[in-house]
Structure 1
Amino acid sequence: MCNHARHDRVHPIYCILPPHMLKEIAKNGTPQQRSLAIDTLSADHTFRQIRSVQAAMLAPRRGAAVAPVAAAPSVHRTIYTANQTETLPGTLVRSEGSPKSNDVSVNEAYDGLGATFEFYQEIYHRNSIDDAGMPLIGTVHYGEQYDNAFWNSQQMVFGDGDGTLFNRFTVALDVIGHELTHGVTEHAAALAYSGQPGALNESVSDVFGSLIKQYTLKQTADKADWIIGAGLLAKGVKGVGLRSMKEPGTAYDDPVLGKDPQPADMAHYVQTAQDNHGVHINSGIPNRAFCLAAIDIGGYAWDKAGRIWYETLNDSHIKPNTTFKTFAKLTVSNANRLYGANSAESKAVSKAWDTVGVL
Structure 2
Amino acid sequence: MLSKKLVSLVVVSSLLFSGFVFPVHAKGNESNPPGFEKGKLSKQLSKDMKGVHQFFKENNIIIEDSVNQLAELKSSDDSLGFKHIKTQQMVKGIPVYGNEYIIHFNQNGEVYAINGKYDVNAKDAKINKGNFIGETKALEIAKAQVTFDELEAPPTTKLYLYNINDEYVPVYLVSLSFLSPTPGYWNFFVNAEDGTIIKQVNKISNVATTGTGLGVLGDTKTLNLNTATVKGKTQYQLVDTTKGALITTFTAANGTRTPGTTVFSTTNTINDKAAVDAHAYAGVVYDYYKSKFNRNSLDGLGMGIKSTVHYSRSYVNAFWNGTQMIYGDGDGVQAVALSGALDVVGHEMTHAVDENEANLIYEFQSGALNESLSDTFGAFIECYGQASKFDWLMGEDIWTPNIAGDALRDMSNPAKYGDPDNMSKFVVSPNTQAGDWGGVHTNSGIPNKACYLIASNPNVGINKAEQIYYRALANYLISASNFHDARVALVQSATDLYGASGSEVAAINAAWDAVGVN
TM-score, normalising length: structure 1? 0.76
Instruction: Summarize the alignment of residues 98-247 of structure 1 with structure 2, pairs less than 5 Å apart.
Output: 99-218=268-387, 224-237=390-403, 240-247=406-413
Map 1:255-270 to 2 at 5 A.
260-270=417-427
Structure 1 counterpart of 2:320, one-letter code = W
Within the alignment, does 1:356 sit opposite 2:342 as a pair? no
Distance 1:129 1:16, change over 3 A: same
Mind listing any 5+ residue stretches in structure 2 that lack a counterpart? 7-144, 156-176, 178-241
Correspondence list, 1:1-359, <5 A: 15-18=1-4, 20=6, 48-49=148-149, 52-55=151-154, 74-94=244-264, 99-218=268-387, 224-237=390-403, 240-250=406-416, 260-273=417-430, 274-297=435-458, 301=462, 303-315=463-475, 317-359=476-518
SS for the counterpart of 1:139 is strand
Following superposition, the deviation at residue 53 of structure 1 comes to 3.4
- SS of 1:163 mapped into structure 2: coil
The ranges of structure 1 where at least 4 consecutive aligned residues each deviate by more than 2 angstroms after the TM superposition are 17-20, 53-56, 234-239, 297-300
Q: Deviations over 1:183-206 (max 9, x none)?
A: 000101011000000001001100
Task: Give me the whole-angstrom Cα distance separating, in 2, the residues matched to 1:171 and 1:73.
Answer: 22
Alpha carbons 2:423, 2:516 under 8 Å: kept: yes
Is the CA contact 1:100–1:107 (under 8 Å) kept in the aligned structure 2? no
Count of aligned pairs between the two proteins: 290
Tell me if the contact between 2:453 and 2:511 (Cα under 8 Å) persists in the aligned partners: yes
* Bigger fraction of residues in helix: 1
Q: 1:49 to 1:298 in 2, by over 3 A?
A: farther
**Gap change, CA 1:73 and 1:142, over 3 Å in 2:** closer
1:310 aligns to what SS in structure 2?
helix
Deviation for aligned residue 1:244: 0.5
Question: Per-residue CA shift, 1:150-185, capped at 9, x if unaligned?
Answer: 110111011001012211111111100100100000
Change (3 A) 1:344 1:85: same
Counterpart residue number, 2:187: none
Contact 1:175 1:209 in 2 (8 A): yes
1:100 shift after superposition: 4.4
- Tell me the distance in 1 between the aligned counterparts of 2:390 and 2:449: 14
Distance 1:55 1:296 in 2: 46
Report deviation, 1:45.
Answer: 5.2
Deviation at 1:300, TM superposition (A): 5.2
Are 2:460 and 2:504, in contact at CA under 8 Å, matched by a contact in 1? no
TM-score by length of 2: 0.53
CA distance, structure 2, for counterparts of residue 278 and residue 85 of structure 1: 31
Specify every segment of 5 or more residues in structure 1 that has no aligned partner in the other structure, as ranges. 1-14, 21-43, 60-71, 251-259
Query: 1:54 deviation in Å?
Result: 4.1
Q: 1:139 to 1:193 in 2, by over 3 A?
A: same
Structure 1 residues 173 and 336, CA, compared in 2 at 3 Å: closer, same or farther? same
Q: CA deviation at 1:249?
A: 2.2
Do the aligned residues in 1 keep the contact of 2:252 with 2:258 (CA within 8 Å)? yes
1:224: how far off?
3.6
Deviations 1:116-155 (A, max 9, x none): 0000000011000000001110000000111111110111
> With CA pairs under 8 Å and 6+ residues apart, which has the higher RCO, 1 or 2?
1
% identical equivalent positions: 38
1:101 to partner: Cα distance: 1.3
Counterpart residue number, 2:92: none
Structure with the greater alpha carbon radius of gyration = 2
